[in-house]
A and B are shown apart, each in its own frame.
Chain A
Amino acid sequence: MSGPAPHHGGVTSAVVVGAGLAGLTAATGLAARGVAVTVLEARDRVGGRTHGIAAAPGTQVDAGAAYLGGRHTELLALMAELGLKTTPTTMLGASRFGLGTAHTTQDGRFPPLNAVALGDLFEQLAELTEAVRPDAPWLTPDAERLDTLTAAEWAEQNLAHPDARLFFPLFLGEMMAADPAEVSVLHVAFYLRSGGGLRYLNAFEGGAQQDRVDGGAHQLCERLADRLGPRVRLGEPVRAVHQDAGQVTVRTDHGEHRADVAVLALPPLLADAIEHHPALPVRRAGERTARGCAVKVHLVYPAPVWRDHGLSGWSVNARGPLLSTVDDSPADGGIGVLTGFVTGAEAHRFAALDPEQQRATALRQAAELFPMLPDPLGCHVTDWVNEPYSQGCYAALLGPGDWLRLGPSLTAPHHRVHWAGTETSTAYFGLMEGAIRSGHRVVAEILARR
């Protein structure tokens, strides 16, 4: 690495708000070029929407972002630099489906629904996905109409077969943790395109869920933060960002931090909750911008016992709370972990229950879904919907009107304030890859300042 180069258009100091993947990538990049950085993190941990929890003593599982694929080149490069390895997501064996009155077992991932009806759904989604402008969705042909229409309204107008109507919300829940009533159809098309298209985003092997970070994705941020050392300050929720002619002042409950520039590496709903002086010309979230609705439930078994029954652990269910399950067992051959995904409208219902009710309903459903398995040893619930310093997961959901209004200023700096976060990346929006790419972009922006 070359020595510090102190003059980048006069930027010698930066405050980064948010110690998730975007913020820590940005801080690391700026520090490497001689910029004095301070990272302010509201929580008492780094990682943002990546988070490791102990499923068993010494075994961490991903309570937040988990999966990656070969196209996630910046994430793979970062993992290599940090000495982290991938472990494949296993999908061998038969699936369980709860799409009608009874539960069924079938080979492969294909649900027992009318294949032509699902094909009609995917043909229409593919057409929308191919038509969207990936770098600027607000400039898509027919953007005005697509931005106005919710995905639920679109389904009402375009899906005739009951199986397509049944499957569409499950698909949106799994792909983007969205309730169709909350997202515009433009956002759906953009999200699918941004993530590499329908097939890539949906696939495990050869797709976006092919691998996980061995030992947990939270290690990415922990290792980046270790390198930054005391420059990362925890327990510092930012309340206000004031700019004057020369500098920017970032105020927390404990003090003020002045720097040449600030990077707000936050989900849009949180960026908007900060007081900005001067005021933002365009807010970061719109009237209809919603929280990504995801709750993750980890069911812990003494071993991946479903494999003994020829099952992959994969299931898809029309009734919640667990709308799908996937084998997220650690690679070391120890405990077995099934991750249940509670998404979309179901996540709102589930998140409103008290913790005991959540565990009881999840365990009851697991017993119905996998009657051949012993009771889990443990059940861990991670509610991202009510997480104050994320306000949803996987990512913010852009509702009707949002893309046309917010899109053109997605990355435009507000004087000395620059924007990062996975929601500011038109490539791999909502994914870890998008967060890292936004961090790289913001470093380049700041170094190019005059």
Chain B
Amino acid sequence: MSIDLTSTATPEALVAIFRRVLEHDDVAAHSDFFELGGDSLIATRVLSAIARDYGVELTFDDFLLAPTPAGLARRVAGTA
């Protein structure tokens, strides 16, 4: 599996990850993951996808502090 460290975690890219793991399209940049029906199990899938796509390992607490596509994109940018 290749990690493209040059790619940027945009809110749009995070929206796509949310849509895939939540299995519905009703996701916007500022949608709250848990209000969209997410739970801790599928939150870890988002963290795994972020690690795979951007080479950044966020913790579960990081996720809880910013559980939106836009918030997570900022976290990834800040850590990368």
Contacts and interface: CB of A to CB of B under 8 A. Distances in A.
Interface in B56-77: 57-60, 63
A119 B40 contact: no
A123 B60 contact: no
A119 B39 contact: no
Given A110-B60, A115-B63, A120 B48 contact: yes
A119 B40 CA distance: 10
Contacts, number: 50
Interface string B16-56: 00000100000000000000010111111111110100000
A221 interface: no
A425 B67 CA distance: 38
Contacts of A115: 43-44, 47, 58-60, 63
A132 B58 CA distance: 30
A122 B57 contact: no
Given A115-B63, A116-B57, A122 B45 contact: yes
A206 interface: yes
B41 A202 contact: yes
Interface residues of A, number: 16
A16 interface: no
Interface in A158-202: 198-199, 202
Interface residues of B, number: 19
A199 B37 CA distance: 10
A143 interface: no
Nearest to A120: B48
Contacts of B60: 110, 115
Nearest to B56: A116
Contacts of A126: 21, 45
B41 A116 contact: no
A198 B48 CA distance: 16
A90 B48 CA distance: 29
Given A110-B60, A115-B63, A119-B51, A203 B45 contact: no
B42 A199 contact: yes
Contacts of A198: 41-42
Contacts of B21: 126
Question: Which 9 A-B pairs have CB atoms at the shortest separation, nearest pair first?
Answer: A119-B48, A119-B44, A110-B40, A115-B60, A118-B44, A119-B47, A116-B51, A120-B48, A123-B48
21 contacts: A108-B40, A110-B43, A115-B43, A115-B63, A116-B48, A116-B51, A118-B44, A118-B48, A119-B43, A119-B48, A119-B49, A119-B51, A120-B48, A122-B48, A123-B48, A123-B49, A198-B42, A199-B41, A202-B39, A202-B41, A203-B39
Given A116-B57, A116-B58, A122-B44, 8 more contacts: A108-B40, A109-B40, A115-B59, A115-B60, A116-B51, A119-B44, A199-B39, A199-B42
Interface of A: 108-110, 115-116, 118-120, 122-123, 126, 198-199, 202-203, 206
